[in-house]
Amino acid sequence: MQTRELNGSDAARYYELRLEALLTNPDAFITTYEQEKQRPDPIKSTADRLDSKTSRTFGLFSEETLVGVVTLIKEAHPKFAHKASIVAMYITPENRRKGGAELLIQEVILFSQAIHLEVLHLSVVTDNQPAKKLYEKLGFESYGVERKAIKLPDRYLDEEHMALFLKQ
């Protein structure tokens, strides 16, 4: 498996993987499959997002197939410019538990260090134990749990907020 930063030319395959993610793990994302499908000109808007300067998306490839993604969103305000958030992490079910998620997060960490970020934040649904264990293994520390962070039609989900300090 290999990782690389995605760009606008990857829009079609990213969009297809995004739709899969929203169908496969709907509780892990705020956006719903229906919302994503209703987006006007989804390939163009996806290409624009992938070419954005405020966020960077990294892909995990098995041979030539995109099998995982993660996005890093940098804070824009000058007083927060030392921080970024990791969002939209997804690995296809058949490629999980093979080390790909760790490769993706390590890629994000290396990129963040290269652009002199100091703090990375992420949130994970509290019952997603495999993800929490991975983030802890890579040095992320919990700094709180938000109860009822996500409201679904039939229940609420709590989110654990985690941070990695790249510069002490």
**pLDDT at position 168:** 64
pLDDT tens per residue, range 88-124: 999 999 999 999 999 999 999 999 999 999 999 999 9
The token pair that represents 22 in the structure block: 């929203």
How many percent of the chain have pLDDT more than 90? 87
What's the CATH number where 104 sits? 3.40.630.30
The total domain count for the chain is 1
Helix (H, G, I), strand (E, B) or coil at 133: helix
Residues 24-81: tens digit of each pLDDT: 988 888 888 999 988 889 999 999 999 988 899 999 999 999 999 999 999 999 999 9
Q: Which domain holds residue 24?
A: 2-165
